[in-house]
Chain A
């Protein structure tokens, strides 16, 4: 039954998601903003630019992908929010990341359900990158 409790629970869950997100996102946002004014971020960007170009993304966004793959999407949001990315770029990187993220944690979850996880892992990584490249050609 829907009552005031329902709404209160929803607000609590929303605040808890925001808190979990903020805890991860804000420190990363600060670090990336600092790195932008050092030679470090431009150097990383140059190394990854050729690969990222295939997906129509700036080299800096490689950090968002790596953080998203190994940590979670909140970490990659810290990177994406601190960079000036276009609507098109955010849409592409969001599609890649939503297919492929939190790999260590989510693979452990899949494993608990009793399936072989290596094929799933390969599927997510491969599919994520293919989607990025295809979206860059299509939109």
Chain B
């Protein structure tokens, strides 16, 4: 196959992929800005707080988790650092929110880019969400059990000083 033909194939192919991605990503980014300006995320985080408590995450962790879920890991991490500095997140929250977010972040934008390439979006979204929820829940249970076991040991250790 002559080089010119290959160049043409690459140019046309990459241009058409970029076009299909643009058509999805630009409207989505407009949508994201509207959500931000309406403060919908703060309200959604409030509504999600009781659900997140089931995952063992306190209210302070709800906003960073929702932000990371929708806007991406670096955005979420920024809010985590801020919340931790202000003492609104416990070490336990930190661990759980991080575990959730590494599995599942930037849920819509990244999925849509793959949808532009032909992937079935709902399968990707369901797989990531379910895994993030199940693993975070399991870890929360494990941490609770470990805290309970560690409890008596600390009490025993503090006995001689009494």
Contact = CB atoms under 8 A, between A and B. Distances in A.
Interface of A: 1-3, 6-7, 9-11, 13-15, 17-18, 21-22, 25-26, 29-30, 33-34, 37, 73, 77-78, 80-82, 85, 87, 90-91, 94-95, 97-99, 106, 109-110, 112-115, 120, 123-124, 127, 131, 135, 139
Contacts of A81: 13-14, 17, 117
B123 A82 contact: no
Given A2-B37, A109-B73, A135-B127, A11 B117 contact: no
B54 interface: no
B44 interface: no
A36 B103 CA distance: 33
A77 B37 CA distance: 31
B119 A91 contact: yes
A98 B114 contact: yes
A37 B111 CA distance: 31
A2 B34 CA distance: 6
18 contacts: A10-B31, A17-B29, A25-B14, A26-B18, A29-B17, A30-B7, A77-B117, A82-B14, A85-B118, A90-B119, A95-B127, A98-B124, A106-B102, A110-B98, A110-B102, A114-B81, A123-B135, A127-B103
A73 B113 contact: yes
A33 B103 contact: no
Contacts of A123: 99, 102-103, 135
Contacts of B28: 14
A91 B122 CA distance: 10
B98 A9 contact: no
Interface centre among B13, B29, B34 (most CB of A within 10 A): B29
Contacts of B11: 30
A80 to B, nearest CB: 6
B21 interface: yes
Contact of A87 (B32, B84, B113, B120): B120
Contacts of B119: 87, 90-91, 94
A102 B127 CA distance: 19
A97 B124 CA distance: 10
Contact of A110 (B7, B22, B77): B77
A13 B18 contact: no
